Amino acid sequence: MKGDFKMDSQFEKIKVLESSNTKKELDLKLYGEEQAKAVLKFHKQIEEYKKTPLVCLPNLASKLNVGSIYVKDESKRFLLNAFKGLGGSYAMFRILCDELSLNPDTTSLNDLLSEKYKKRLEKIEFVTCTDGNHGRGVSWASGIFGCKAHVYMPYGTAEVRAEAIRKVGPAKVEITDLSYDDTVKYALEMSKKYGWILIQDTSWDGYEKIPTWIIQGYLTMSYEITDELENLNVIPTHIFLQAGVGSMAGGMIAYFVELYKNKKPIFTIVESNVADCIYRSAEIGDGKSYSVGGAPKTIMAGLNCGSVCSLIWPIIWNYTDFYISGSDDMAVDGIRAYAFSEGEDSKIISGESGASTMGALLGVLAEPSMEEMKKKMKIDENSVILLINTEGDTNPENYRKIINGDWNN
């Protein structure tokens, strides 16, 4: 691919909020290293399992005057083009063990898939709401286990995202005329009406067990990162995490805080500015989480969620240091920075949500008006920055428009 990455002024693209919260220590063992090892043990039994790349971008780091930039590239995960299959598959395994009265600590994937349980698994049906990536993971996992699945998607979802879900598994997919949050409620209604099992990546009072398993499923990603960084004798100083409902971000924060203890990295949450429920909750600053109403529109489909996961909010509130709310242009800059890599740096194919943290990082480091904020964030020439590319080109047509310069907001 030929081309150069050029970034316009970021001044109107992002706003940054420093946490004003007095931190309170929480028990994070649910998302600690031992739990991560148990989750990884399960994922390694899946035929398609392969550790995803941790990409170093030394030339970009030099250009931005930081020590190093590492990117965990989840576009390579399970051939799903996104990380979400980690959570869906592990949660489904735990649910099915419960349904069949099996001990998950002693039950292997082969045990569960044996002829003994086949007919019972075929009768089990899952349901979920998704903007794309979570639904793809649920559809794919239901195919592995021989179950049925129903996936509902919010209004405005690109048909290509729905078709991607159908291609990887047996799920029946429907695009609704509802917002994301209302589609979650609809999926819940369908679960009650038909006796389906709701497998949703957010939580509320009375619905916590399954979301906990989903969040724990993401820990494989965390463990792979720290295992590789340990071999390099590297500890990240700054971690930028994108958030929709915040499940992945909160789980990652918990893992890194629990692991690094007194060497806690500086955490920054990145959201779309039309669905920035976490940013707005932090801005209000009373310790409660608040929702963003209406039907927001953004190209960052994976971040287009109006309410934060209740399980994860206390972790985000107590351990996040900075919050960034950014426009679609922020994501576009991130996509192009990955695509038109600096010097000999590896090219990374990233979708709109996946590239949001790169766009946010550029907004802080490449815009003169952000110099004071950069100092507050303690980003300097020694900083080791970790980003997660949570998805590849999940909307290929939009991706092509962006890298070809044909995209218009």
Strand, coil or helix: what is 280?
helix
From the list 363, 95, 308, the residue with the least C-alpha distance to 184 is 308
With beta carbons less than 8 A apart as the criterion, state whether 135 and 151 touch: yes
Catalytic one of 76, 84, 264, 374 = 84
Report how far apart, in Å, the C-alpha atoms of 193 and of each of 189, 190, 358 are.
6, 5, 42
Q: Which helix (H) or strand (E) holds 171?
A: none
Alpha-carbon distance of 209 to 99, in angstroms, equals: 14
Alpha-carbon distance of 14 to 366, in angstroms, equals: 12
Alpha-carbon distance of 194 to 125, in angstroms, equals: 9
Alpha-carbon distance of 12 to 275, in angstroms, equals: 17
3-state helix vs strand vs coil in the chain, percent to 5 = 45, 15, 40
- Per the annotation, the verdict on 375 as an active-site residue is no
Strand, coil or helix: what is 272?
strand
From the list 13, 67, 65, the residue with the least C-alpha distance to 359 is 13
- Per the annotation, the verdict on 84 as an active-site residue is yes
Catalytic one of 13, 72, 73, 131 = 131
As annotated, the active-site residues are 84, 131
